[in-house]
Amino acid sequence: MTDTVAYGTLETIDGRPGLRFVRSLAYPIERVWQAVSVPAELERFFPAAADWTPATGETVDCGGASLEVTEVDVPHRLAWTIAGQPQSFELISTEGGCRLIFTHVIDDLPAAQTATGWQIYLSRLEPHLAGEYLSDEEAHKPWTDIHERYAERFGIDPEPGRRWAAENLPAGRG
C-alpha cells in the first residue's frame, strides 16, 4: 500500500535544493520498474512522459526541453536530466513489494508548488499499478490543501503558489 500521507522533503542534493518523495508500494520491483520506464505506462501517471527506450545517453525532445537519460540500472535506478535538473526513480526491493524514491533537483523552481505537483502525480501511480485510472482532474482536486501544507512545512510564502493556482487550475480544485 502506498503511504499516501507521506509528504516529500526539501533537501540539499549534491549542493542544490531538491525534492525527495518516498513511497512504499505493495508491488514487485519488476512491476514498478515497468510502470516507471515504459512510456505507455508512465504517461498514465507522470507529466510529460518521455518517449524513451530508456538507455543511458539517450536524448529525447520533451516539447522543447531536452531530456537526457543519465543512468539505467534495471530494475533499480532510472535517472535523467531535463532543463539542467536531475530527476530519478530509485527502486528498492522490500518484503511485500518495493520502495520507490523519486528525486528532483529543483534549483530555483518554487519548492511548495513543485512539491505539490509531484505529490499529485505520484498519487496516480498506485491506482495505475492496481489496474485503475486516477484522472489528472481528480488527482488535482486537493491541490490547494497540499500546497498549503508544503508551504508551511518548508517555511515559505504560499502566495505565489496561490496566485499560480488561481490562474492555472480550474475553479473548485482544493
What is the Cα 164 distance to its own chain's centre?
19
CATH number of 9-168: 3.30.530.20
DSSP structural state of residue 170: P
Domain ranges across the chain: 9-168
How many CB atoms within 10 Å of residue 157?
11
**CA 78/CA 58 separation, integer angstroms:** 12
Do residues 136 and 106 touch, judged by C-beta distance below 8 A? no
The C-alpha cell that represents 68 in the structure block: 537526457
pLDDT (tens, 9 = 90+) of the chain, 174 residues, equals 333 457 999 999 999 999 999 999 999 999 999 999 999 999 998 887 778 999 999 999 887 889 999 999 999 999 999 989 999 999 999 999 999 999 999 999 999 999 999 999 999 999 999 999 999 889 999 999 999 999 999 999 999 999 999 998 876 555
Spatial separation of the C-alpha atoms in residues 123 and 47, rounded to whole Å: 12
The model's pTM? 0.92
